[in-house]
Structure 1
Amino acid sequence: MTELPGGPSLPQERRLVTAVPGPKSLELAARKAAAVPSGVGTTLPVYVARAGGGVLEDVDGNSLIDFGSGIAVTNVGNSAEAVVRRAGEQLAAFTHTCFMVTPYEGYVAVAEQLNELTPGDHEKRTALFNSGAEAVENAVKIARAYTGRQAVVVFDHGYHGRTNLTMALTAKNMPYKHGFGPFAPEVYRVPVAYPYRWATGADNCAEEAAAQAVDMITKQVGAENVAAIIIEPVLGEGGFIEPAKGFLPRIAEFAKANGIVFVADEIQTGFCRTGQWFACEDEGIVPDLITSAKGIAGGLPLSAVTGRAEIMDAAHAGGLGGTYGGNPVACAAALGAVETMREQDLNAKARRIGEIMLGRLRALQDKYAGSASFSIGDVRGRGAMIAVELVKPGGKEPHPEATAAVAKACHAEGLVVLTAGTYGNVLRFLPPLVIGEDLLNEGLDILENAFAQL
């Protein structure tokens, strides 16, 4: 049997043989600067040669622990056996026909899986696309076609993509929106229940935030004008904000009462990331539409909109699609990813990752409670979607400088971590769900040492 380039054959260990980044990566970074526009940035200019399990091996031979998963994409690892096998078989059969011209079974099979896996026992339909932003745009199209309305409501700290419409839906200016307007009209933003930063305290957060949001929609937009309300059940780029319990059900109830399509943007949270197939399951929410991408296909580009049949069927024939949407190789990879998630019970593994990480991070929070240079203001998250928010001592003023310093120290020691948050002061952790506990704890040791350097 031919040994795969990544996966189990790749030693699951951290190994540093050069500085990070090493000379070959620096050489490639120079080539990038000459060939790729500066607007395409990189978090860590380490050029990967192989990857699998919980590690990334670069062109210099360094092996780094991965706490990023390509931003929640490689939930099953970078080279899961079932993903590689199924995608390889499909690659050998054919790479493309365009489902809108001559269809193929793989697209239908993925749609069937999503109709089964997403919350609710109602009749569903699924349409496939390429990226998360494309899925969100199509959810808006479908909602507008179904309701005959135009307005779309989104939330503070939300992120939904980089296309013109999804930039309008996104809350954060830099780096996503700055200088790229004007944006699509009929988008309205309302408060979200951010427990750590709610002015009257976390206990009041859900009720007050929901009341404010409903009041703003009713008075400023008119519920009868709203086609869709879109929210991430855990807000990703905004800083892994888990809305206070009760907020999401209240918003979903308001939407249902007013004929508004409730859309759960599960692009970052879906496919076992939070310890459930979809994060909205945590409070028993059954959205009208769910958008998914990222973890859906083990690293190949694929996204989806899944929802109630009567809503999904509202768009006219030919109104949904795209040349590459539901590419056959990506569909095969998605079937392999779901197979892996089921067989390895990655929901349970995600919950175990969360248990380990939250325990150690809360201990760090206590350890540095009296620090003169920084404070871990909040530790939050579910499953393998965990974050810490750093603030300046004595209050809740965001501390992006400390956040950047910790990330830089982790990178130098061979741990890939990401930052996030509206204020740039959140460290977010998204390890592959197949990471070994030894690597997970070693990565947390590196993180602890990085905090000690502050």
Structure 2
Amino acid sequence: MIANPSLSTASSAEHLAAAATHGAPTHDPLPVVIGSARGAWVTDVEGRRYLDLLAGSPATAFGHRHPRPVAEARAQLNRLTVTSRAVHHEHFGALCAALAALCGMEMALPVTTGEEAVRAAVAAARAWGHRVKGVPAGRTRVVVASGYLPEDDAVSAGTGAHPPGCTVVPYGDLAAVAAALDAYAGETVAVLLEPVGGEAGVRVPPPGYLPGVRELTRSHGVLFLADERWSGLGRTGATFACEHEHVAPDLYVLGTALGGGVLPVAAVVSSAAVLGALRPGEYPPASGGGPLACAVALEVLAMLREGEPQRRARERGEQLHHELAGWVGAGAVREVRGRGLWAGVDIDPALGTGREIAERLMRRGVLVKDTHGSTIRIAPPLVISAEDLDLALEQLRSELVPAGTDRG
């Protein structure tokens, strides 16, 4: 029998040892144990404070314990938290209507996680392709240019692996999308891509790419699925990253920022023709769209309608990129990409991997995420103040561009 001692007063070392011994090795987190958080700051169990530039990938895009979604959650906890999808509850229809209005669509499917939302989007596209477009069941194909599908981690690493029923093409390559659509003209039902490649290290597509994909999907009679799990809901300074290119997709995939940092909530939003092609039981989310989740998400949507998160992302994003632009070619920094309050920074591999840089920054009191070898991803909560962002940038500069370093 495995002992289960209380760790309520344990040290970070004891928590880390328990996780290493009894936790399945599905992740490789930084060796920090968070005990509390507020806004853009987190505090470990020993009381050390860190500026959180991780944004919870992207669950805490609106910061930790934001008072508005927290207040909604507290009120709902005293009324109703979870119901079966075999019945209705008072917030479900309201959330679906609010999501549809925000996206300029007609229907929504609330789910729990971003990965589940991608699966739901693909399922809806295939149902539409079969029932509306007439592609035989089992032969529907999706062109993936986003660099990520939950069914195959190799895709997120850009290896070109092909999960079942998908054609994977390089991100940002319009000719590759066109070639895939031509090659599988009778089977392809959709193109799935990220308007900004978050999982791949904040890859901003080349000019004309998104409008070009939109035109290709229209001319081939297939759907454009915008994976806005990372880039949507204010992160880039607009409600959706597609807006920067004046592109309207056929379907939005929204990530866990919808949960306001309180609990995981995600969604798929599209037209009645697309989501209406699904049938009861064809894609049954296990727990998506419960009363607590919907109540919190409704408050997040109210915040987005007011425009404050988008404004803060624009203003703090200008501050972030103005500073980072001056580091390119100096010290360890080789390239900086991003949009809004979001950046990918490529590090000279000779000076350290992304993970090594992330651990050094952790010791300086700043948390960032390494991704794809020698890249770090910077994604502060949208509520971060100008002063706190300056403090974080000061620590980043000290680690990546030491005093006296010349530009290469």
Q: Please give the TM-score of this superposition, normalised by the length of structure 1.
A: 0.80
Which residue of 324, 329, 332 corresponds with 1:361?
Answer: 324
Post-superposition shift, 1:249? Answer: 1.1
The aligned counterpart of 1:238 is 200
The aligned counterpart of 1:271 is 233
The aligned counterpart of 2:7 is none
Q: Percent identity?
A: 31
Distance 1:298 1:282 in 2: 23
The aligned counterpart of 1:152 is 142
Pairing 1:38-437 to 2, within 5 Å after superposition = 38-42=25-29, 44-98=30-84, 100-118=85-103, 120=104, 123-148=105-130, 149=135, 150-155=140-145, 158-161=147-150, 164=151, 167=153, 170-172=156-158, 184-193=163-172, 209-219=173-183, 222-299=184-261, 300-343=263-306, 345-365=308-328, 368=330, 374=332, 376-391=333-348, 401-421=352-372, 424-437=373-386
User: Does the CA contact (< 8 Å) of 2:156 and 2:199 recur in 1?
Assistant: no
Post-superposition shift, 1:418? Answer: 0.9
Post-superposition shift, 1:316? Answer: 1.9
What is the CA deviation profile of residues 171-203 of structure 1, one whole-angstrom value per residue up to 9, with x for unaligned ones? 446xxx9xxxxx84121111222xxxxxxxxxx
User: Does the CA contact (< 8 Å) of 1:159 and 1:237 recur in 2?
Assistant: yes
Distance 2:117 2:353 in 1: 35
Distance 1:171 1:187 in 2: 16
State the SS of the aligned residue for 2:81: coil
State the aligned residue count: 385
Post-superposition shift, 1:323? Answer: 2.9
User: Does the CA contact (< 8 Å) of 1:72 and 1:273 recur in 2?
Assistant: no
| Structure 2 unaligned regions, length at least 5 | 1-9
What is the CA deviation profile of residues 191-248 of structure 1, one whole-angstrom value per residue up to 9, with x for unaligned ones? 222xxxxxxxxxxxxxxx31233124313xx222101110000011111101101011
The aligned counterpart of 1:445 is 394
Q: Please give the TM-score of this superposition, normalised by the length of structure 2.
A: 0.89
Post-superposition shift, 1:344? Answer: 6.5
Post-superposition shift, 1:306? Answer: 0.3
Letter in 2 for 1:426: T
User: Does the CA contact (< 8 Å) of 2:358 and 2:370 recur in 1?
Assistant: yes
State the SS of the aligned residue for 2:382: coil
State the SS of the aligned residue for 2:91: helix
Identify if the C-alpha distance between structure 1 residues 210 and 345 changes in structure 2 by more than 3 Å, giving closer, same or farther.
same
Post-superposition shift, 1:318? Answer: 3.3
Letter in 1 for 2:143: V
Distance 2:163 2:351 in 1: 30
Post-superposition shift, 1:389? Answer: 1.7
Post-superposition shift, 1:301? Answer: 1.2
CA RMSD, Structure 1 to Structure 2 (Å): 2.2
| Structure 1 unaligned regions, length at least 5 | 1-22, 178-182, 194-208, 393-398
Letter in 1 for 2:294: C
User: Does the CA contact (< 8 Å) of 2:232 and 2:254 recur in 1?
Assistant: yes
Identify if the C-alpha distance between structure 1 residues 36 and 382 changes in structure 2 by more than 3 Å, giving closer, same or farther.
same
Distance 1:226 1:113 in 2: 31
